[in-house]
Chains A and B, each alone.
Chain A
Amino acid sequence: MQPALQLTRSYLLRRVELRVSASEDEADVEKVLAGEVSAFESIVRRWQGPLVNLAYRFCRDRSRAEEMAQDAFLRAYRGLGQWRKDAAFSTWLFAVATNLYRSQLRRIPAQTISIEDVARVQVSSPADGCLAEVDRDHAVRKAVLTLPAKYREAVILFYFHDMDIAAAARSLALPEGTVKARLSRGREMLRQKLQQQFRMSRWREA
């Protein structure tokens, strides 16, 4: 299947899942607010994957991602009464989590690798093309963390939400135009850095 077609299919599937879970979320939130704490478990089970994965994209550390997601669920539980129902529960939950992840990473930044390391990975094992490609892709993803915070956040949220600018803007609580501008600038910075470093590494190797 072509990548673009695959992406569209997964996007549509996710949309359907979101619509189904929206009513379940609302019912569970009502129960929790009525004092049935165990109903929160269903919410955790439903959203643990997305929240841990979002945290992972912010820090690239599995155990830290789980800690951050746990804190996000706890914060969501404390503020459950603040969900106004004018937006989907998932939108509110992602906004809460994003806000928490941003502030946590401001306090203790994620361990990043330099752009030079990204380039080194790409030229290190030219004999095994497949392995080199996997390593390079992984290194490029880590390189997103080297971007300045505001561009990095826009890039992470945009790709996390399957390239949906509106969803990224809602999670960041920013206007769509601002996110679009930051995303464009962030991608451009990343592209330039990678191109420059790949060129320099090839030149050094030669």
Chain B
Amino acid sequence: MEYLDRVLTAEEEIVPSAGFTQAVMDSVRRETSGPIPFPWKRALPGLLLVVLVLVALVFVPAPINSSGQTELPTMQLAAMLTALLETIRRFYVNWLLGSLLLAWACVNLSARLASLRS
């Protein structure tokens, strides 16, 4: 065996540091965790309830008014929407929703920036 072969074959082996495996597994677990998934199981009953209320509003027989005529579901819906808009105006719900949306955008943006840096 010539000199080069002897030197390059008989290379001393280095031992990885004690925390190497842990460091690799930490990065692997970070990789697998990802963003927190939406809790569909918990939200499902609430969503079903909302759907049921909407369906009931449309299909439940309309009450008879004072003049003896039945109110159409669409008329009921329009009245409800008007009331809803009035509530929104009175309690500044639009501002509340706007600020919530802004807060969500800020959190989302900072989380994205943090993941880019890491």
Contact = CB atoms under 8 A, between A and B. Distances in A.
Contact of A48 (B8, B21, B27, B31): B21
B44 interface: no
Interface residues on B, range: 20 to 34
A98 B5 CA distance: 21
B1 interface: yes
Mostly, the A contact residues are: helix
A131 interface: no
Given A49-B13, A49-B16, A41 B25 contact: yes
Interface in B50-95: none
B82 to A, nearest CB: 52
Contacts, number: 73
A179 interface: no
Interface in B1-39: 1, 4-11, 13-17, 20-21, 23-25, 27-29, 31-32
Interface string A89-114: 00000000000000000000000000
Interface in A22-64: 37-38, 40-41, 44-45, 48-49, 52-53, 56-57, 62
A145 interface: no
Contacts of B17: 66
A48 B16 contact: yes
Interface residues of A, number: 35
Contact of A7 (B9, B29, B31): B9
Interface of A: 3-4, 7, 37-38, 40-41, 44-45, 48-49, 52-53, 56-57, 62, 65-66, 69-70, 73-74, 77-78, 137, 140-141, 144, 155, 159, 162-163, 187, 190-191
Given A44-B21, A65-B14, 4 more contacts: A3-B1, A37-B29, A38-B25, A137-B7
Interface of B: 1, 4-11, 13-17, 20-21, 23-25, 27-29, 31-32
